[in-house]
Homo-oligomer: A and B are copies of this chain.
């Protein structure tokens, strides 16, 4: 492993400047989700919230409509051991479909770690208790964040559509679950669990990742209560390292490239977390 250089207040580990080939070591499923564990001996250790651009090394493309062509962005979900990385995937289209087909022994192309992660040092927290809120596959970056925060992180609050998706909660420790259909845990939205927690103790720092409507609800809720929140957003990306200017999201100060200025943004940078062209 190379010595990691970290910038942006320790929130960005620099990536080697080329994609590298990495072997899939293991494929597990958590209900609707696939976890790929990947060998990445040359990869510097990512910060929680950073992401990777992934492509299957073989037969990328050629699916229905001959896509995918470009790599796809995925949060680093966990570093299970030094020189390894895990990704939590949901099959929503040709790229994730191809990646979800991979198994131990297959190779992926990996450009990683990219972007700015969560600000979650003790000084960032400044005495506030960290509150992790995830929706669907947005669970992914909360796992590595939970690992880093250790006991300081209370029970993560996770929302899912239904029972098969709610199995993803097992990827984290001690999660409190809400489901849209009430099949598991709280019947309703994860933001209802968040309201409960903030009612109990509002001296918190929220870290959230999930679909745009959920992030927007979290943003509005935290803004109304003056609770600081960091949101890990998504947008369509071609490159992941600032080259294409394709991934911009509108902020109060204009467009920012989510891949180099995010994907984690302070909630108060945003008018809205409902960014165009993201999500499914």
List residues of A (53-95) whose CB comes within 8 Å of B's CBs: 59-63, 66, 69
Which of A60, A61, A62, A69 is most buried by chain B, counting CB atoms within 10 A of its CB?
A62
Q: Which residues of B contact A61 (CB under 8 A)?
A: 61-62, 66
Report the interface size for chain A: residues with CB under 8 A from the other chain.
7
How often does this chain occur in the complex, in copies?
Answer: 2
Bound complex: CA of A69 vs CA of B66, how far in Å?
Answer: 9
Contacting residues of chain A (164-186) with chain B, CB-CB under 8 angstroms: none
- How near does chain B come to A242, taking the closest CB pair, in angstroms? 26
What is the CB-to-nearest-CB distance from A20 to chain B, in angstroms, rounded to a whole number? Answer: 19
Cα-based distance from A63 to B69 in the complex (angstroms): 11
Residues of B within 8 A of A62 (CB): 59-63, 66
In the complex formed, the residue of B with least CB distance to A69 is B66
In the complex, the chain B residue whose C-beta lies closest to that of A60 is B62
CB under 8 Å from chain B, chain A span 19-69: 59-63, 66, 69
Interchain CA distance A60-B64 in the complex, whole Å: 9
Provide the bound-state CA to CA distance between A203 and B60, in Å. 56
Chain B residues with CB under 8 Å of A66's CB are 61-62, 66, 69
A66 to B62, CA, bound (A): 7
Sampled A-B contacts (10; CB under 8 Å): A59-B59, A59-B62, A60-B62, A61-B61, A61-B62, A61-B66, A62-B62, A62-B63, A62-B66, A66-B69
Q: Which residues of A contact B (CB under 8 A)?
A: 59-63, 66, 69
